Amino acid sequence: MTCLDPPLAAAYPCCSLIPSPAVPDPKNDTRLHELKALLQERSIAKGDFVLTSGARSHYYCDTKATVLSPRGSRLIGEALCEQLRPFAVDAVGGPEVGGAYLATAASVASDLDGRPLFGFLVRNKAKGHGTSARIDASYHPDGRKLIVPGRRVAVVDDVVTSAGSILRAIEAVEAEGCEVAAVSAVVDRQEGGGERLRGLGYDFRPLFVADNEGDLTLYSGDGR
């Protein structure tokens, strides 16, 4: 049956009657293969680059070139929804700026699918005006704020290298009492970040992994 938690299922009674389809085998999902081709063409630049960490790389991955396009946004949103469904989360978000694009894509795709995921964004630092919030979040139909103790959430980012950005976002939502049930990224560069997340006990499952030359393959692990 549905992956919605009880309060959310009560707020969306029609959704609680919708059987959850089986998660497709990534190797046979044509949408993931289409997304891989889009990312490879639009988001991977080959050359000599300096990364945020200061390390040099033979390629640079900018997923915004894909996720901000109509087709790319839909494919990424659908892929994240499929991936997160078994974890029974009802919120998805991540660090600014990439996490905001992904949370929006997943939220829109989830509504079209009839199994709503609500989005949030973790700022690098709290706002210096207004509510001074560090986490911006959607409303939730159960009447509570989205980011509250006990809420099962997924934290996502566009690219994971050392995992510094996504870990800061995880720490922020955990400080609010949320349970981080799943962690994902569009691309794992396989430079230690994934192992770092798994070593801390998080179930990390990227959509794709990149080799040293920036060539993408579908991730097929179990997250642990």
User: CA–CA separation, 64 vs 59, rounded Å?
Assistant: 15
Summarize the confidence of residues 131-153 as an average pLDDT.
86
CA distances from 148 to 63, 91, 172, 179, 211 (A): 30, 11, 12, 9, 38
pLDDT in tens, 199-211: 999 999 999 999 9
Assess whether pLDDT exceeds 60 at residue 7: no
pLDDT at site 139: 84
Q: Reading across the β-sheet that carries 216-218, which strands appear in turn?
A: 135-137, 118-122, 91-95, 152-160, 179-188, 208-210, 216-218
What domains appear along the chain, each with residue ranges and CATH number?
28-215 (3.40.50.2020)
pLDDT at site 223: 62
Is 91:4 a contact under the CB 8 Å cutoff? no
Summarize the confidence of residues 3-16 as an average pLDDT.
40
pLDDT in tens, 162-184: 999 999 999 999 999 999 999 99
Give CB contacts under 8 A, 24+ apart, made by 201-204.
202/170, 203/87, 204/160
Q: What is the mean pLDDT of the chain?
A: 85
What pLDDT band is residue 26 in, cutting at 50, 70 and 90? Answer: low
pLDDT at site 118: 96
Tokens 């293969």 correspond to 33
Maximum pairwise Cα distance, the chain: 53
Q: Which range has the worst mean pLDDT, 1-10, 97-106, 150-159?
A: 1-10
- List, in order, residues 6 or more apart from 121 with CB less than 8 Å away: 93, 94, 95, 96, 99, 100, 103, 135, 136, 137
